[in-house]
Amino acid sequence: MKLKNCKECGRMFQANLASQKLCQRCGESEDNKFLKVREYIYDNPRCSVVDVSNTLEIEEELILKWLREGRLTLKGEGSGYPCERCESIIQTGRFCASCANKMSSALQASAEALKNDQDVSTKQSQAGMWTAK
Ligand SMILES: [Zn+2]
Ligand SMILES: [Zn+2]
């Protein structure tokens, strides 16, 4: 058991799990909302985020958050939300498949570039040490 500050309301609470970020009250209400949304999408696979939000009176932002985290998936055509990068309509996660692909290769490229940069700067500092002698 560990004392933590709730990310939602800031109150101190006893966390049973290291991953727990919300107090009992906030955590429960968010879980309850999640279950409702999941059930609604299950019953109405062609619904849109706006439908869910209006029917259940749950903030669109929260539903989008779950979709982006991949906890929810929309099924209906045209019922998605925009990819964060190119605005094409997606139904789960943060990016469409093509952006996800492009980004993972871009990420690899920038990781390589970073590595090369570090190599250069360590060489330079070593070179500096030598000349300073
Ligand atoms: Zn709380
Ligand atoms: Zn995209």
Q: What is the pLDDT of residue 31?
A: 87
57 and 115 inside one domain: no
pLDDT of residue 90: 92
In this prediction the pTM is: 0.62
Shared domain check, 61 and 39: yes
Q: State residue 75's pLDDT score.
A: 83
Give a yes or no: residue 57 inside a domain.
yes
Report the separation in Å between the CA atom of 69 and the middle of ligand 1, taken as the mean of its atom positions.
21
Tokens of 15: 């966390």
Confidence of residue 11 (pLDDT cuts 50, 70, 90): very high
Report the relative pairing of strands 2-5 and 81-82 from DSSP bridges.
unpaired
Confidence of residue 92 (pLDDT cuts 50, 70, 90): very high
Any domain includes 133: no
> 89 and 100: one domain?
no
Ligand nearest to C-alpha 28: 1
Total domain count, the chain: 2
39-48 pLDDT tens trace: 999 999 888 8
- Which residues are CB-neighbours of 84 under 8 A, at least 6 positions away? 68, 94, 95, 99
